[in-house]
Amino acid sequence: MKEITLMTESIAEQCATEIVEEMIAYNKIKMNVKNIWIGKILDHWILQQNRQESLPESQRVYYNLFQHSKVMDAVRNLNTGNGIESLLAFLSQVDNSPIKKRLANKQEEVKKLSGAALRAEWEKEFNTMTTQQQIDKCTAWLTCGCPKASIPSFVFDHIKTLDEALKEKMRGAYKVGQDKVSYWSKGLVGNYSG
């Protein structure tokens, strides 16, 4: 048999206060009715609890923190045009089950791509970019210092569609990348040979 835990008076007051303060924050009610609404919520819970007492223990469902978190999430969308009625109706009907958040292993969610699949993903991402982003991405690929065979073919295909001034800029970017590699290579050779 499940253990029935009732909210203490202080927890009930705290929950009611949180609900009302959230409603004030979303401009659902005015500040001057705060204490009235807190009192009405507490009265509602007392009536609900008294109704639960007439049920067999296995069927009793008391307001709990699972329900409270759902109420807090729903406050911003409640219609308070008819006063507290919609809130009390929601409090009566809110689901008692815990919120099921999918806790996924981050490594499972991230697909590890390599080879052709990785290049296809890069190309798909590249094709969704703006023209300026594509130019910036091409410049980044060319200045990285990678060998020409390592730079994806879609980069060169895109460069072929650019005007002559941008093509010249891309040639300069490729030269910068190759100069970096040459500089690093000379430094490594010099460090080990001398």
| Confidence label for 1 from pLDDT (cuts 50, 70 and 90) | very low
- Is 1 within the bounds of a domain? no
Q: What is the DSSP letter of 72?
A: H
- Is 188 within the bounds of a domain? yes
Shared-domain flag, residues 88 and 115:
no
Domain end call among 44, 65, 93: 93
Shared-domain flag, residues 116 and 80:
no
Shared-domain flag, residues 83 and 149:
no
pLDDT digits (tens, 9 = 90+) for 19-76: 999 888 888 888 898 899 899 888 888 888 777 777 787 777 777 777 888 888 888 8
- Is 3 within the bounds of a domain? no
- Is 31 within the bounds of a domain? yes
Shared-domain flag, residues 120 and 189:
yes
Element (H, E) at 98: none
Contacts of 176 (CB under 8 A, 6+ apart): 142, 143
What does the mean pLDDT of the chain come to?
79
- Is 36 within the bounds of a domain? yes
- Over 162-179, what HEC string results? CCHHHHHHHHHHHHHHHH
pLDDT digits (tens, 9 = 90+) for 144-165: 777 777 788 888 888 888 889 8
Q: Distance between CA 134 and CA 149 in Å, rounded?
A: 19
pLDDT of residue 17: 92
Give the pLDDT mean for 168-173: 86
- Is 38 within the bounds of a domain? yes
Give the pLDDT mean for 72-83: 84
Shared-domain flag, residues 154 and 85:
no
Q: Among 8, 19, 28, which Cα is nearest to 69's?
A: 19
Contact between 87 and 41 under an 8 Å Cβ cutoff? The reply is: yes
Give the pLDDT mean for 4-17: 79
Domain boundaries, position 151: 111-193
Give the pLDDT mean for 118-124: 84
pLDDT: is 114 or 175 the higher one?
A: 175
- Is 99 within the bounds of a domain? no
pLDDT of residue 9: 82
Domain end call among 93, 128, 157: 93
- Is 2 within the bounds of a domain? no
Give the pLDDT mean for 110-125: 79
Q: What is the domain count for the chain? A: 2
